[in-house]
Amino acid sequence: MRGLARYLHDLLGQRRPRRFRASPDDDAVVRTAIALRAARPGSGQPREAFVEELHERLATQARAAPHGPVSVERHGRTTRRQFVQVASVAATAAALGAGVDHVLEADGSGPAPTAGSTLMPNSGRWHAVMTSADLAEGGVKQFELGSVVGFLARSGGQVAAVSGVCTHQACRLAFAAQTRRLNCPCHNASFALTGDVVTHQLKIAPAPLPHLPVREVDGRVEVFAP
């Protein structure tokens, strides 16, 4: 019973359960506990700390074996072992949806990701945030709708809206008119008005800013939000 109790305690605490010699009755209890744990909302998503550690491991291994499988025959067992480790971690990252392309950019040398998807709430409505006359060609305006903060920009007569919150740790962005960028005051990241990442000093590039649905109706600029 002590081994079973310890196993269940680890399982519920999201830790790696410690092994124990299970009886047939214990086996049935463990299987039921695993099924119930897996049924929790969001249980299919890896913990953020685990994904960050996975990113760092893969980046370290990639730097240790920069030439990949090409150098296996030249350098023997050590390089082969490094290559197998890199491949194993990459496969795990892909299986978890961690994004191998972002993992390989952990040293900050890779290209910035492209603009993100559109943020569409489960339920919401169109909110008028300003008049069309308030947003001239080339203009940028900030808006706030409860928990949703964003920026509107007009270019070529078209209006676009992006989130005003950094995708790294949710710091609010500020618009810099001189560079026409959205700057994060927390970790020196900056985003284009399209949502693309322009600069960052993080080990892993932050995700692009999500877009928000926007339209113009009867001289009003409206954003769809909760």
Q: Mind listing the pLDDT tens digit for each residue in 115-151?
A: 568 888 888 899 999 999 999 999 999 999 888 999 9
Same domain? 75 vs 20 = no
Q: 95 exposed, middle or buried (CB, 10 Å; 0-12, 13-18, 19+)? A: exposed
Q: How far is CA 104 from CA 47, 89, 146, 199, in A?
A: 19, 12, 37, 17
Q: What is the rounded distance in angstroms from the CA atom of residue 155 to the CA atom of residue 192?
A: 13
Model pLDDT, residue 88: 55
What are the tokens at 175?
A: 């618009």
Same domain? 73 vs 163 = no
Q: What DSSP assignment string belongs to the chain? A: -HHHHHHHHHHHTTSPPPP----HHHHHHHHHHHHHHHTSTTTTSPPHHHHHHHHHHHHHHHHHSTTGGGGHHHH-HHHHHHHHHHHHHHHHHHHTT--HHHHHTTTS-SPPPPP--B---SS-EEEEEEEGGGS-TT-EEEEEETTEEEEEEEETTEEEEEESB-TTT-PBPEEETTTTEEE-TTT--EE-TTS-EEE--SSSPPPPPPEE-EEEETTEEEEEE-
pLDDT-wise least confident of 12-26, 144-158, 161-175: 12-26
pTM to 2 decimals?
A: 0.51
Model pLDDT, residue 82: 52
Same domain? 78 vs 18 = no
Same domain? 145 vs 187 = yes
Domain annotation covers residue 111:
no
Same domain? 33 vs 56 = no
Confidence class for position 5, pLDDT limits 50, 70, 90 = confident
Same domain? 28 vs 54 = no
pLDDT over 90 at 184, yes or no: yes
Model pLDDT, residue 116: 65
pLDDT over 70 at 219, yes or no: yes
Same domain? 137 vs 190 = yes
Same domain? 81 vs 27 = no
Percent of the chain residues past pLDDT 70, beyond the cut: 69
Most confident of 38-42, 64-68, 93-97, 110-114: 38-42
Instruction: Please answer whether residues 196 and 103 qualify as being in contact, where contact means their C-beta atoms are separated by less than 8 angstroms.
Output: no
Domain annotation covers residue 74:
yes
Domain annotation covers residue 66:
yes
pLDDT tens, position by position, 54-81: 777 777 776 665 555 444 444 444 454 5
CB neighbours of 179 closer than 8 A, spacing ≥ 6?
A: 190
Unique residue bearing structure tokens 């900030």: 142
What are the tokens at 7?
A: 């196993």
Tell which of 74, 104, 134 closes a domain: 104
The amino acid sitting at 190 is S
pLDDT-wise least confident of 23-37, 97-111, 176-190: 97-111
Residue with the larger pLDDT of the pair 65 and 26 = 26
Domain annotation covers residue 191:
yes
Same domain? 96 vs 78 = yes
Instruction: Please answer whether residues 148 and 124 qualify as being in contact, where contact means their C-beta atoms are separated by less than 8 angstroms.
Output: no
Percent of the chain residues past pLDDT 90, beyond the cut: 37
Confidence class for position 3, pLDDT limits 50, 70, 90 = confident
| CATH code, domain carrying 203 | 2.102.10.10
Domain count, the chain: 3
The amino acid sitting at 218 is D
Model pLDDT, residue 100: 36
Q: How many CB atoms lie within 10 A of CB 142?
A: 15
What average pLDDT score do residues 87-92 get?
53
- Supply the range of the domain harboring residue 170: 125-225
Confidence class for position 159, pLDDT limits 50, 70, 90 = very high
